[in-house]
């Protein structure tokens, strides 16, 4: 295993242990309101601190972009961390949340790890090395049309200015598919696309830590990820379409009439 991937895996598993231990005492946790429908708990902070501790011990010169503590200056290597993607799910005992860690060198994603501590499912990818789940190679599906396709998404609940555009997209995609799932943890949704559990995914207004690791997983599993203009600015715009190559094109074609001028710009 690549040394940096090994560190990311160690950090993700260690954070997962903190999350699992805390899951039995959710009612006692201190909850902070960050913004509309956006919460953080002491578990988010403890898990993030543990991830940063492990990374900094191995690579003290690397920079960090973390959901709770923000930017930590360093060199051209940037670790992008979501210590608990799906905090609202976690607080409600809804079993869909994960740790997400990615490493970017300048503008190129190098390492991606998503860890589901409840199911002990570890998704890993390194640039040029393929994607794995618990040491088994994974690939995106071969689904070639909307009929029978299963898609993932997330509602733009933090920023309702795009709700009409989103509902237009949802309607356009729901007509022919087998179903659309909204489980509330984008990192896991993207890991599921890479593993062939979902055929495609789209969402408005994601943060870099929500999707960096998942995007690399999908690309290394043979899939495609772009923004709403078929470009690669998703980490900046927050808008993402992902899936196997054919499903990606079909999702893009279906939602394109509903992509407003504002959605072609940064939406966060």
One pLDDT digit (tens) per residue for the chain, 268 residues: 689 999 999 999 999 999 998 877 765 666 665 555 455 678 889 999 999 999 999 999 999 999 988 899 999 999 999 999 999 899 888 999 999 999 999 999 999 999 999 999 999 999 999 999 998 999 999 999 999 999 999 988 777 888 999 999 999 999 989 999 999 999 999 999 999 999 999 999 999 999 999 999 999 999 999 999 999 999 999 999 999 999 999 999 999 999 998 887 665 5
pTM: 0.93
Domain ranges in the chain are 3-137, 150-264
Which tokens go with 75?
């060199």
Which CATH number is 3-137 given? 3.30.540.10
150-264: CATH topology is D-Maltodextrin-Binding Protein; domain 2 (3.40.190)
């Amino acid at each position: 295993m690549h040394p940096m991937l090994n560190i990311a895996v160690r950090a993700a598993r260690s954070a997962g242990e903190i999350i699992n231990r805390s899951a039995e005492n959710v009612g006692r946790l201190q909850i902070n309101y960050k913004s509309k429908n956006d919460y953080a708990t002491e578990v988010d902070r403890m898990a993030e601190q543990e991830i940063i501790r492990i990374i900094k011990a191995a690579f003290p010169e690397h920079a960090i972009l973390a959901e709770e503590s923000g930017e930590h200056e360093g060199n051209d290597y940037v670790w992008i961390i979501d210590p608990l993607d799906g905090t609202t799910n976690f607080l409600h005992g809804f079993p869909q949340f994960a740790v997400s860690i990615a490493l970017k060198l300048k503008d190129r994603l190098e390492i991606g790890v998503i860890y589901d501590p409840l199911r002990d499912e570890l998704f890993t990818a390194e640039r040029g090395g393929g994607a794995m789940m618990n040491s088994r190679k994974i690939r995106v599906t071969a689904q070639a049309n909307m009929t029978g396709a299963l898609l993932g998404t997330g509602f733009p609940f933090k920023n309702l200015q795009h709700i009409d555009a989103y509902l237009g997209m949802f309607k356009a995609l729901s007509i022919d598919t087998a179903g659309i799932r909204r489980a509330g943890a984008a990192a896991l949704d993207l890991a599921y696309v890479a593993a062939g559990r979902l055929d495609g995914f789209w969402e408005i207004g994601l943060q870099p830590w929500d999707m960096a690791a998942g995007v690399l997983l999908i690309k290394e599993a043979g899939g495609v990820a772009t923004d709403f203009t078929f470009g690669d600015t998703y980490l900046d715009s927050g808008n993402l379409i992902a899936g196997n190559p054919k499903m990606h094109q079909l999702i893009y074609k279906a939602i394109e009439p509903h992509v407003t001028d504002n959605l072609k710009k940064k939406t966060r």
